[in-house]
Chains A and B, each alone.
Chain A
Amino acid sequence: MLQIKNLHVNVNGTEILRGIHLEIRGGEIHTIMGPNGSGKSTLARVLAGHPDYEVTEGEILFKGENLLELSPEKRARSGVFLAFQYPVEIPGVTNSYFLRAALNEIRASRGLEEMDASDFLAFLKEKMKLVEMDASFASRFVNDGFSGGEKKRNEVLQMLVLEPLLAVLDETDSGLDIDALKLVSRCTNLMRSKERAILLVTHYQRLLNYVQPDFVHVLMDGRIVKSGGRDLALKLEELGYEWMREPGSLKGA
């Protein structure tokens, strides 16, 4: 479903990703781990098409299509979803209005009929139950005045509503207490299906206690230095990242 080949990315003239290779097939859950500043979030945002990132080399294919040629909204409509590390507040626009607009633009791009306001509200409320959000959040402004945990749950809610083909969760587990973490994990597991690929970007192994990944990749200095299964994550928790650093690596370059 997703093929990343030799991806190089610059931000403000500094190279952050230095040749990423990654392939994710439908039905798989991949986890990207790595120390701070290794480029994990950059990878997530590049997939979504953030304008601050300049791809200098390489390609990304999504369902066989060149993703890099698509605008962020077209990527979203073709099924790419990013749960933001720092969800954005949009005062004046209610959660339900925002999500319905998003869903209907996605549906329209696929030639589907719009969902009307009352059908949507019923649909939304079902999904809100899954993330244990009070119904009042439907009429609150997008992320406005939400706590950190509420914002993260709101991201998961949007994922459940928009039902993407590729869901990228950028540190959605950060800053959550254990109950919220379990909840997010449960919803992520719900999303697991043959047609869908999930990419989890995380700092912590603890998420993987609840979501069983098929692959774990370690990102350091802009490259995937090691890939493995769940065991790799456990080893990382025990030993940290430094042991993996090759002598004469790019650190400090």
Chain B
Amino acid sequence: MKEAKALIEQEYKYGFVTNVEADAIPPGLDEDVIRLISLKKKEPEFMLNWRLEAYQRWLKMQEPHWQNVSYPNIDFQDIIYYSAPKSKKDGPKSLDEVDKEILETYEKLGIPLDEQKRLAGVAVDAVFDSVSVGTTFKETLKKVGVIFCSFSEAVKEHPELVKKYLGTVVPYADNFYAALNSAVFSDGSFCYIPKGVRCPLELSTYFRINAQNTGQFERTLIVADEGSYVSYLEGCTAPIRDKNQLHAAVVELVAFKGAQIKYSTVQNWYAGDRNGKGGIYNFVTKRGKCAGERSKISWTQVETGSAITWKYPSVILQGDNTVGEFYSVALANNHQQADTGTKMIHIGKNTKSTIISKGISARFGKNTYRGLVRVQPGALNAKNYTQCDSLLIGDQCSANTFPYIEVQNRTASVEHEASTSKISEDQLFYAKQRGISGENAVSMIVNGFCKEVFKNLPMEFAVEAAKLLGVSLEGSVG
């Protein structure tokens, strides 16, 4: 309890800036900028062409405004699209060559990249601004045939795999931000799990935005071949800055016959200050495809950071007997706004999806669940269960639920349950009367509320997530 209390009393502790010289290109976006990014990354031609096609498409698209969030217009010419920590050589060949300052940054964040101090059983790819600065445990993974590397490396080392799967789940024309990402994405992670392999380590990517006025556009692609299994985690932080920064990522997952992908996110981008100044705009497209029969994709997300979150990790249930899951905790405190949820697209027979969404709103926070369950004509005996719970702390915040259900097959069974509750003054007084501080009472109630989601996170991350929620709710009670 003492520890939890100390945690609650601290401010956003990842808000520091690392002083490294950056190799950045000037703000603005045109074809030349895209060519320059591609050139800097020494990409094969197919990659450049794909980027340019995406860019042409993006130019014709309109910025979406249907989300239940509000923010001033983004000037896309005012963003730096590429920033990399400068290194003397072409790029670090191994972790020994990574800038000391950067290694220290990750230490501070609690993600030691030094394999001596490694996190037990977790392989980490660290993305710093626009580039990956290092991946741990490569050798261990190589032995079982698992490819886990930065996206840039995959483009060079495994172009056939990238070419085959890139854009197959989220095409560049999918939406405005996906198109933008496709045109300018700088790095991200790539994983390939071969047939029948159960990945021996948790794979993890740690995203860090450091430079100012920089957008982070990473791309993650995970391919789980037949009968394989992988658990993947991502974490995100950024320094405290007064100006809003854009983060527009794309994540694509492909699961073949009998494969299983478990994807967990603990998102803690800088959320802005108490008055809503600064913070990250987190506009992300995440989608998985259960391509083969009996495959399964689970998304678990704990979204505590960002000024604005706009994302819908989705599953396309294409194969028969496939399973899609979405477990989410989204917090909107202070002036944060979150519009998040999922899409479950049932195409195959006997497909099953589960959606558990827990939204927490505090102070002036605005939290929206938006979800789509679609059962297509051929999806015989599709089943969905959706549960959306909202928890309000205080009386100036809001919670909204927009469930869309489209059923085109009579054999489908779709269930939707929703609830809204409030942490009442009575509950707080009751807990205080027993000697429990207000902050601890809130974090206790909130953690109870989120239990169903946390239990889907790997153990140590569940503990982290619970602590993080406590910290993020700091100051939400008088």
Contact = CB atoms under 8 A, between A and B. Distances in A.
A90 B444 CA distance: 10
Interface in A77-125: 77, 81-82, 84, 87-94, 97-99, 101-106, 108-109, 114
Contacts of A81: 433
A88 B432 contact: no
Contacts of A91: 421, 448-449
B425, B436, B444 interface centre (most CB from chain A within 10 Å)? B436
A90 B427 contact: yes
Contacts of B435: 73, 76-77, 102-103, 105-106, 109, 162
A73 B432 contact: yes
B429 A92 contact: no
A247 interface: no
B445 A93 contact: yes
A193 to B, nearest CB: 20
A141 B434 contact: no
Interface residues of A, number: 36
A76 B444 contact: no
Interface in B47-104: none
A209 interface: no
Given A93-B444, A141-B448, A98 B434 contact: yes
A158 interface: yes
B427 A76 contact: no
B405 interface: no
A90 B430 contact: yes
Contacts of A48: 429, 433
B433, B436, B445 interface centre (most CB from chain A within 10 Å)? B433
Nearest to A90: B427
B387 interface: no
B445 to A, nearest CB: 6
A51 interface: yes
A76 B434 CA distance: 6
B411 interface: no
A72 B1 contact: no
A88 B437 contact: no
Contacts of A106: 435
A93 to B, nearest CB: 4
Contacts of A97: 444
Nearest to A168: B433
A102 B436 CA distance: 5
Nearest to A109: B435
Nearest to B4: A101
B1 A114 contact: yes
A92 B448 CA distance: 4
B173 interface: no
Contacts, number: 83
B434 A158 contact: yes
Size bracket of the B interface: 20 to 34
Given A51-B425, A73-B435, A108 B448 contact: no
Contact of A101 (B1, B424, B425, B438): B1
Interface string A9-52: 00000000000000000000000000000000000000011110
A77 B445 CA distance: 20
Given A51-B425, A92-B445, A98-B444, A76 B2 contact: no
A189 interface: no
A73 B436 contact: yes
A104 B430 contact: no
B416 interface: no
B436 A101 contact: yes
A187 to B, nearest CB: 17
Contact of B434 (A92, A94, A114, A162): A162
Given A84-B430, A92-B448, A104 B1 contact: yes
Contacts of B426: 88
A72 B435 CA distance: 8
B381 to A, nearest CB: 33
B440 interface: yes
B451 interface: yes
Nearest to B452: A92
A162 to B, nearest CB: 7
A84 B434 CA distance: 11
Contacts of B440: 101, 105
B159 to A, nearest CB: 49
A81, A98, A104 interface centre (most CB from chain B within 10 Å)? A98
A102 B434 contact: yes
B431 interface: yes
A71 interface: yes
A105 B1 contact: yes
Interface in B1-60: 1-2
B418 to A, nearest CB: 15
Given A92-B445, A93-B444, A93-B445, A87 B436 contact: no
Contact of B1 (A84, A108, A141, A162): A108
Nearest to A100: B1
Contact of B449 (A75, A92, A104): A92
A106 B433 CA distance: 11
A82 B433 contact: yes
A77 B447 CA distance: 24
27 contacts: A49-B433, A51-B425, A72-B433, A76-B435, A81-B433, A84-B433, A88-B429, A90-B431, A90-B444, A90-B448, A92-B445, A92-B448, A93-B444, A93-B445, A97-B444, A101-B1, A101-B444, A102-B431, A102-B434, A105-B437, A105-B440, A106-B435, A108-B1, A109-B435, A114-B1, A114-B2, A158-B434
Given A72-B429, A91-B448, A101-B444, 5 more contacts: A73-B437, A76-B432, A90-B430, A92-B445, A105-B436
Interface of A: 48-51, 71-73, 75-77, 81-82, 84, 87-94, 97-99, 101-106, 108-109, 114, 141, 158, 162
Top 4 nearest A-B pairs (CB, nearest first) are A92-B448, A102-B434, A76-B435, A88-B430
Interface of B: 1-2, 421, 424-427, 429-438, 440, 444-445, 447-449, 451
